[in-house]
Amino acid sequence: MKRWIRIFIISVFAIAAVSLVVIQFYQTRRTFSINDNMFNIGVGNAMDEVIKQLDAETTMGSDEPAASFSYQGLDSLIAEQLLLNGIDIHPVVGIYNGNERSFLYSSDPRHEKQLEESPYRYNFHPAGVVSNNQFFITLAFPTAQLFLQRHSNLFVYMSFFLVLIIAAMFVISLRALANQRKLDQMKSEFINNMTHEIKTPLATIGLACEMLRDETISQDSASRQNFIGIINDENQRMRVLVETILQSAKMSNKNFHISPKEVDVHQIIKKVAQSFTLTLSNRGGSLETQLNADPSVIEADELHLTNLVYNLIDNGIKYSANAPAITVSTAIVDHQLELRVSDHGIGISKEDQKHVFEKFYRVSTGDVHNVKGFGIGLNYVTQVVKLHQGHIALESELGKGSTFIITLPMC
């Protein structure tokens, strides 16, 4: 997908999502205020009816309204009338003497302050009361907010749920786009690297063939052997390279199986070590083997185990800035065969150690070294180890070197 199309989609999506959130916000506020108005109207209607009924009940000649009816009766009358108006909460009720600024009655003295300041205050002076004082019935709704919320909640929850779903979809789409982009990048990097990796050995083989064609050189047996060795090494290098790519692709398939048989790990190590002789001598490096595992025969897939050892030694050489010094050792530890491949190369930082086994992951090298690769070697090694029910570990320190430790079950 083209960059501008991606930016366009992201922008439209972002604007739409933000607009939706803003609209929802205002809509929710409107719902709260509509519910608030309906609540006030309901309370007003209920209280009109309450006062009408109390007026009728008042004993003529009373000094104050309270003398004429029972307070409990007042509480339940108000609750009943509120319910008839769709308000199913019990308010705190007070009868207030406006002249003396005191309560004749309050259903919950803890809320007297709230009752005093309440906007739900109704003039109450039944015809039968002879006092000149001003009386009010005041109501307080400590749980009114809850009531209003309860009535708006469904709407609010649904709105936010929908906004959340849209936001989640937006994030998922963004991540999918980013992944797609990363994949595209990795694909083109992979093709670049592969072209480079294959071109180099091909050029070396071509050059060695040219040399062998030259009669003066080909007649000298030492030179001839040297060039044949170069061709052999480069050929082996390409074989493992192609094999790693192919096998790694095959391993992504769930139906992939290995073909285990009894193999001598020491034989495999010796064979692979042999194939690095020329590369090591060209770089003035060395490869030491400490083959202590006894027995050294395990049940494994020979081809994959060979590629595994090759990849680890190859990395050890590739990622050594100076003359490579590689050690391959084996031992029996806890009835398992332990294979260690160590180098004194550039090492891997703690952060990169967490990722080097991921497919296509390559440590960003900066100017430190310029080694080409695909970032699939270690992932392939991990897959092989897993298929053999083994375990892989990495010990490494930046600038000091790395040790890959592989444990494989015995027969």
Whichever of 150 and 386 has its CB closer to ligand ADP, that residue is 386
Helix (H) or strand (E) holding 159: helix 144-213
- Minimum Å distance from CB 332 to ligand ADP? 24
Q: Return d(Cα 341, Cα 312) in angstroms, integer.
A: 7
- Minimum Å distance from CB 348 to ligand ADP? 5
Which residue is listed with tokens 């890959």? 404
Whichever of 138 and 379 has its CB closer to ligand ADP, that residue is 379
The type of residue at 166 is I
Q: Judge whether 86 and 42 are in contact, CB under 8 Å.
A: yes
**260 cis-preceded (ω within 30 degrees of 0):** no
Whichever of 96 and 319 has its CB closer to ligand ADP, that residue is 319
DSSP helix/strand/coil, 189: helix
Whichever of 135 and 319 has its CB closer to ligand ADP, that residue is 319
- Minimum Å distance from CB 233 to ligand ADP? 18
Whichever of 65 and 345 has its CB closer to ligand ADP, that residue is 345
Half-sphere exposure of 111 toward its Cβ, with a 13 Å CA cutoff?
Answer: 17
Which structure tokens are listed for 223? 């030179």
- Minimum Å distance from CB 364 to ligand ADP? 8
**Chain position whose Cβ is nearest to ligand ADP:** 373
- Minimum Å distance from CB 178 to ligand ADP? 22
The type of residue at 328 is V
Whichever of 105 and 357 has its CB closer to ligand ADP, that residue is 357
Whichever of 138 and 320 has its CB closer to ligand ADP, that residue is 320
Strand partners, 343: 402
CB atoms < 10 A from the CB of 73, how many?
12
Whichever of 402 and 407 has its CB closer to ligand ADP, that residue is 402
CB atoms < 10 A from the CB of 292, how many?
12
CA-CA distances (angstroms) from residue 347 to 319, 329, 361, 391, 404? 8, 19, 15, 21, 11
- Minimum Å distance from CB 234 to ligand ADP? 17
CB atoms < 10 A from the CB of 24, how many?
17
Q: Return d(Cα 268, Cα 327) in angstroms, integer.
A: 15
CB contact set of 112 (below 8 Å; sequence gap of 6+): 94, 103, 106
Q: Judge whether 275 and 305 are in contact, CB under 8 Å.
A: no
The alpha carbon torsion through 186, 404, 322, 400 (nearest 10 deg) reads 110
Q: Return d(Cα 327, Cα 290) in angstroms, integer.
A: 7
Strand bridging mode 325-333 / 286-291: parallel
Which structure tokens are listed for 169? 């979809």
- Minimum Å distance from CB 365 to ligand ADP? 7
- Minimum Å distance from CB 399 to ligand ADP? 10
Whichever of 340 and 362 has its CB closer to ligand ADP, that residue is 362
CB contact set of 98 (below 8 Å; sequence gap of 6+): 133, 134, 135, 136
Whichever of 266 and 362 has its CB closer to ligand ADP, that residue is 362
Which parts of this chain interact with ligand ADP (CB under 6 A)? 315-316, 319, 343, 345-348, 356, 361-363, 373-379, 402
> CA end-to-end span of the chain, whole Å?
51
Helix (H) or strand (E) holding 275: helix 265-275
- Minimum Å distance from CB 315 to ligand ADP? 3
- Minimum Å distance from CB 249 to ligand ADP? 14
- Minimum Å distance from CB 206 to ligand ADP? 23
Whichever of 259 and 364 has its CB closer to ligand ADP, that residue is 364
